[in-house]
Structure 1
Amino acid sequence: MPAPSEFLSWVDASKDAFIARLSHAVSIPSISGDPAYRPHVQEMSDWLNAELTKVGVETKQVDLGNHVMDGQTLPLPNAILGKTGNDSSKKTVLIYGHFDVQSAALTDGWASEPFVLTTLPDGRLVGRGSSDDKGPVLGWLAVLQWHHETQTPLPVNLRFCFEGMEENGSEGLDELVEGEGGLVWRGGLYVYRVYSFFLR
């Protein structure tokens, strides 16, 4: 099904706002594999949760408890569960993605500061997380924003699961699925994994 022309026009008109939103997301160094950056992973969870609620998604941040990393006991970043739509005549699709990133530094070979979104001469945007996985997640946010602002019904019910430990083994995800199974996963879901390979 092709995207509505009015949606495509809205996307073009909203480009600067979308880039600004991605720039903010990239600026949050949500590195899940480094204990020193754990507060920033939680910061990213809080920010994304707030953005989802702005576009009409009913959300729940889930405390996943603690784990041990490098000899330190640390809180796992809150996962985000969300839902919009509850029409029994529509199919239900679960969107899975993550908001954490791997470490990055200029000494790793980056040509620009990895946590500053940079526009290349050919127009491509570069920054840690811009393709894996913050950019694709924010793509879904844009879709939700248009439907919310125009009051256009979604063709399916949507459920969301966003985590902050994917780059470090998805610690806590198994327990999340088991603990929230009766609330989120039931109902004959179709599952979509937010991928970024098409952006490269």
Structure 2
Amino acid sequence: MQDIFRHVDDQLNECIAGLTELCKLPSVSAQNSAIDETAEHVSALLRGLGFEARVLPKPGGYPVVYAEQPGRSSRTLLFYDHYDVQPPEPLELWSSPPFQPTLRDGKLYGRGVSDNKGNIAARLAALRAWKEVRGELPCAVKFCIEGDEEIGSPHMEEFVEQHRELLAADACVWEGGGVTWEGIPQLTLGVKGLLYVELESNTVNRDAHSSYGTVLPNAAWRLAWALASIKGSDERVLIEGFYDTVRPATPEERAAVEAMPSEEAETLKSYG
């Protein structure tokens, strides 16, 4: 693999230039900005690497870029990414315009340089390096790149159901990919998921003076008590039945986790 790594290093400036052009597109899904233009741009990048790429409509959502290319093996690797980004506001906190990527001290600053256009560019660079050094890809490769991940992928499940055969693969590499504080690449085999809950408390029908506090119920305290009923100070979820279907970790799994280097101190320090 060293020959491929050297090729990537040799092409680094070209890769950064490609990422810069991609990040100039203000594809903010929450604002329906530059979505179609960015989808076509990503599709063109894939076609430039020999992929059969197309932009597929997603009913009720933004288009999905789908691409595929055969390889020596019949096995298929699917890459998932997204080309949309979060809104850049508040703009006054940026040292440079968010959609004019700027290189400072060896780092590229701009909206999307990491999440997720940086990963798109990195994967395309890896595939280009492989093809230019080794030739044909070792296996078939597919890409599924959506445009509304940052607003919760509201119609992705429906899209997958409609295109199950098209998206069929032996393995899937998800969007994320980072390194440890020591620069070691991380391989993530699972995620913890997300549950979003909005709590409302309705008590009195108008603003009231604090002197009524002994009589009128306080909405803020009701919300505080509700939150305290969800999770304890030991981080255990207090909701009845929450852990009923959770499989306990095996001794082998616990040992593997405990053997991993801890980055808790560095993470806490970085967040002040």
Q: Which TM-score bucket, shorter chain as reference?
A: 0.7 to 0.9
Q: Does 1:45 align with 2:42?
A: no
Provide the residue aligned with 1:54 in structure 2: 48
Q: Map residues 42-191 of structure 1 onto 2, 5 A cutoff.
A: 42-66=36-60, 76-85=61-70, 89-105=73-89, 107=91, 109-121=93-105, 123-150=106-133, 152-185=135-168, 187=169, 189-191=170-172
Counterpart Cα distance in 2 of 1:24 and 1:199: 27
The residue type paired with residue 52 of structure 1 is L
Q: Does 1:19 align with 2:16?
A: yes
RMSD: 2.1
Offset, 1:83: 1.4
What are the ranges of 5 or more consecutive residues in structure 1 without an aligned counterpart? 67-75
Report if aligned partners of 2:23, 2:99 keep a CA contact under 8 Å in 1.
yes
Offset, 1:196: 4.2
> Using a 3 Å threshold, how does the CA distance of structure 1 residues 146 and 104 change in structure 2: closer, same or farther?
same
The residue type paired with residue 158 of structure 2 is E
Offset, 1:151: 5.5
Counterpart Cα distance in 2 of 1:14 and 1:118: 19
Counterpart Cα distance in 2 of 1:104 and 1:30: 11
**Higher relative contact order structure (alpha carbons within 8 Å, sequence separation ≥ 6):** 1
Offset, 1:99: 0.5
Report if aligned partners of 1:27, 1:115 keep a CA contact under 8 Å in 2.
yes
Counterpart Cα distance in 2 of 1:108 and 1:170: 29
Note the alpha carbon deviations across 1:129-187, whole angstroms, 9 max, x for none.
000000111111112222333462323321211000000111321121011102222x5
TM-score (norm 2): 0.61
Counterpart Cα distance in 2 of 1:86 and 1:171: 33
Note the alpha carbon deviations across 1:32-87, whole angstroms, 9 max, x for none.
0013x1xx111111000011011011223111134xxxxxxxxx332011112255
TM-score (norm 1): 0.81
Provide the residue aligned with 2:231 in structure 1: none
SS at match of 1:181: coil
Report if aligned partners of 1:45, 1:80 keep a CA contact under 8 Å in 2.
yes
Counterpart Cα distance in 2 of 1:63 and 1:107: 32
Higher gyration radius (CA): 2
Whose helix proportion is higher, 1 or 2? 1
SS at match of 1:33: helix
Offset, 1:197: 3.9
Offset, 1:199: 8.6
Note the alpha carbon deviations across 1:2-23, whole angstroms, 9 max, x for none.
xx22222221221221111111
Provide the residue aligned with 2:262 in structure 1: none
